Amino acid sequence: MRILFLQDTIDSESIGVAYVSAVLKEAGHNTELFILSLERDIDSRIREFSPDIIAFSIVVTKQRFYERLGGYIKSRFPDIKIVAGGPFITLEPKFVNKGFIDFGIIGEGEEAVVELVNSIESKSSIDGIKNLVFKRDNELIVNELRPLVEDIDRLPLPDRGLYLKYNSFRNLTVKRFISGRGCPYSCNFCFTRRFRDMYHNKGKYVRKHSVERVCEEIERLRSVSVVNTVHFSDDIFFTNKEWITKFYDIYPKRIGIPFQCNLTASIIDEDVVRLLKEAGLRGVGIGLESGNEEIRKSVLNKRFSNDEIKRVAGLLHKYGIEIYTYNMIALPKESIDDALMTLELNREMRVGITQCNISIPFEGLPLTDTAIDDGLLDSEGIASEMDKRPETPIIKVEHPEQFERLFLLFPFLVKTRLKIRTIKWLLRMRLNFIYRILHRITYIWNMKRYYDISLISGFKIFLDIKKGERYLKEFFKRCR
Ligand code: SF4
C-alpha cells in the first residue's frame, strides 16, 4: 500500500514518523512524506503520489491545525483513509470522533500501524488490533494497548530518507537521535507521566538502544548527509550507569563527533560529567522550569534545589560544557517576581542558550487539575486556549501583559546585566513591538550558536520558518 505522511512545518523531523515509515517499508509498503510549509501545491503532490492512506503524527498544541487539514483532505480526497497517531491521539483518543480520522493509533505505534495497513490491504478484520481507535455505528472503540516493545533494537533503523530530500534537513549540521524511550520522572506538567500510567503493567517503560545500534544509526546518517554534532533528544539521556560506561568506551572511537543531550540536575556528579566530557559532550539541556524552589517542587514536582543546580552549572562550566535551559513562566499562582527569580537563576548559572515558554496546561495532568481547582483555568476552554499566541498566558495570572513581555525578552535579558528594578520598569512599558524584534534577533543569534553556523545562515533559517508560518496561515484559512 502507499502511505503518505503529512507534516505541517520544518520545526524538526519526527523520529516517530521515521520509525513508523521504517516498519512499513520492512513490511513491503511504500511510504512518502510531504512537509506542507515546503510544498507549494499540496493537492497536486497528493495526486502524484496517489496514496491509499494519509497519516499524521499529531503533537499536542497542533490538534487544531490537523483537524482543519484532515477536513480539507477528506473533502478533496474522500477515498483516502486517514490514520492519526502521535502524543495527542494517545492522550485524547476521543479526537477520533471528529469524523475526518478513520483510524487512530495510541501509544507506541510501530506494530499496530503495520497490522492496520496489512488488514486494510487484505480487507480483513481490524477488530482485534491492539492500540487501535476507530468509530463504529457512532460508537468510539478504543482497543486495548499492547505491551511495550521490550528490546527496541529489534525495530529497524528510522527511515531518515523521508526528511533528507529537503535541503533544510539535509544541511542541518546538528542531527537528532534517540538513544532510548521513556523517562523515569513524573513532572506535574508533562504528559510523559500519563503515558507511564497508561503502560502500567505493560512492560518496562524506560528502555535504551544498545550503544552499538546508536552508533550504527549515526554512521548511516553520516554516510548520506552532514552530521557535525549529534543531538540526543531523549527526555533524559543518562538513566543507566552501565550504559553510559559502555557509551564512553565505544562512542568516541566509533563516532567521535561532539554531542548534546538532556540531563536532570539530580543525577549529575563530577564522575558523570568527566566521563561524558571525555566521550565528546558539548552541551547539556536542563529542564530548570522555575527559579522559585517552592514552585519547582510543589507545583511542578521537580525535585532539585537551587544550590544543587548551581553546583551542577559550576561543574559543567569547569569542564567547558555549554548549558541550555528550558524554562516556563505564567505558572499557577506565579507572580512576576517569581518569574524574575527564574531569570536570575539562569544568569547565575551562566547559561548559553535559554528557551522560555508560557506554561501549557495539558488535560489530565496534575498541574492542570490544580489550576482548574484553584479557579485559574476554565476546564471547558483548554482546547481553545491553545490557539492563543505563544506569548499569551493560558493560566490566569496577575499582570498577564507583563508575562507576555517577559516571554519576549527572556532570552535577551538573560544575557544582560540589567538590574531587576530596570527589568520591572521595562515590563511595565507598552513596547511589545520593540520586544518582539528583540525576541527575533535573539532567536537568530541562538540559532547561530546552537547550529554553529553564520549569522546569515541563522537568518535564513528564521526566514524559512517565517515563510512556512505565513504559508500555513493561508493554507489554514483555505481549510476552514
Ligand atoms: S524530566 Fe522531562 S520528560 Fe521527564 S517527566 Fe520531567 S519534563 Fe517530562
Average pLDDT of 77-96?
93
Does the beta carbon of 323 sit less than 6 angstroms from any atom of ligand 1?
Answer: no
The last residue of one of the domains, among 97, 127, 142, is 142
What is the pLDDT averaged over residues 304-321? 96
> Cβ neighbours of residue 159 under 8 Å, at least 6 residues apart?
18, 19, 21, 22, 25, 31
88 and 234 assigned to the same domain: no
Ligand 1 near 446 CB (within 6 A):
no
For residues 1 and 117, the answer to whether their CB atoms sit within 8 Å is: yes
Torsion region of 473: left, alpha or beta (phi above 0 gives left; psi -120 to 50 gives alpha): alpha
Distance 235 CA to ligand 1 centre (A): 6
CB neighbour list of residue 294: distance below 8 Å, 6 or more residues apart: none
How far is it, in rounded angstroms, from Cα 417 to Cα 316?
22
- pLDDT of residue 202 exceeding 80, the answer is yes
pLDDT for position 385? 57
Count CA atoms closer than 13 A to 110's CA, side-chain side.
Answer: 22
* Same-domain pairing of 206 and 128: no
In a domain, 147, yes or no: no
What whole-number percentage of the chain has pLDDT above 70?
A: 97
Pull the grid cell for residue 435. Answer: 520586544
Domain presence at residue 480:
no
Coil, helix or strand for 268? coil
What integer pLDDT is reported at residue 59 of this predicted model? 85
Q: Whose C-alpha lies nearest to ligand 1, atom 8?
A: 190
Q: Look up the domain containing 427 and give its range.
A: 173-452
Is the pLDDT at 156 greater than 80? The verdict is yes
Does residue 251 sit in the same domain as residue 373?
Answer: yes
Average pLDDT over residues 112-124: 97
Q: Is residue 55 part of a domain?
A: yes
Instruction: Give a yes or no: residue 44 inside a domain.
Output: yes
pLDDT category at 171 given cuts 50, 70, 90 is: confident
**Non-local CB neighbours of 281 within 8 Å, separated by 6+ positions:** 258, 259, 260, 261, 273, 319, 321
Q: Domain check: are 191 and 69 in the same one? A: no
SS3 state of residue 246: helix
User: What is the average pLDDT value for the chain, to the nearest integer?
Assistant: 92
Cβ of 367 less than 6 Å from ligand 1 = no
- pLDDT of residue 105 exceeding 90, the answer is yes
User: What pLDDT is recorded for position 56?
Assistant: 93
pLDDT at 391: 86
Q: Are residues 223 and 266 in the same domain?
A: yes
Q: Are residues 130 and 9 in the same domain?
A: yes
Q: What is the pTM of this model?
A: 0.92
* Model confidence at 378: pLDDT above 70: yes
319 and 198 fall within a common domain? yes
**pLDDT confidence of residue 297:** 95
Q: Is the dihedral of CA 199, 203, 204, 210 positive or negative?
A: negative
Å from CA of 189 to ligand 1 middle? 8
Residue from 178, 183, 191, 299 whose mutation best tests the ligand 1 pocket (most atoms within 8 A of CB)? 183
Closest CA to 157 of 104, 88, 223: 223
Asked whether residue 388 falls in the same domain as residue 272, the answer is yes
Q: Give the distance from CA 196 to its chain's centroid.
A: 17
Identify whether residues 294 and 435 lie together within a single domain.
yes
The answer to whether 352 and 283 are in contact (CB under 8 A) is yes
Q: Is 255 in the same domain as 390?
A: yes
Whether 460 is covered by a domain: the verdict is no
Q: Given the CA of residue 191, which atom of ligand 1 is nearest to it? A: 8
> Atom of ligand 1 at shortest distance to CA of 190?
8
The arithmetic mean of pLDDT across residues 386-414, rounded, is 90
pLDDT value at residue 444: 86
In a domain, 163, yes or no: no
Sign of CA pseudo-dihedral 267, 270, 272, 276: positive
Tell me the pLDDT tens digit for each residue of 8-46: 887 778 999 999 999 999 999 999 999 988 887 889 999
188 and 229 both lie in a single domain? yes
Residue 29 is part of a domain; what is its CATH number? 3.40.50.280
Count of domains forming the chain? 2
The answer to whether residue 288 is domain-embedded is yes
Tell me the CA distances in angstroms from 31 to 19, 55, 91, 163, 342, one per residue in order: 12, 10, 26, 12, 45
Residues 291 and 426 in one domain: yes
Using the predicted structure, report yes or no on whether residue 169 has a pLDDT greater than 60.
yes
Q: Which residue has the higher pLDDT, 19 or 171?
A: 19
* pLDDT confidence of residue 387: 60
* CATH number for position 432: 3.20.20.70
Please tell me the distance between residue 301's alpha carbon and the centre of ligand 1 in angstroms: 10
SS3 state at 2:
strand
Determine, yes or no, domain membership for 161: no
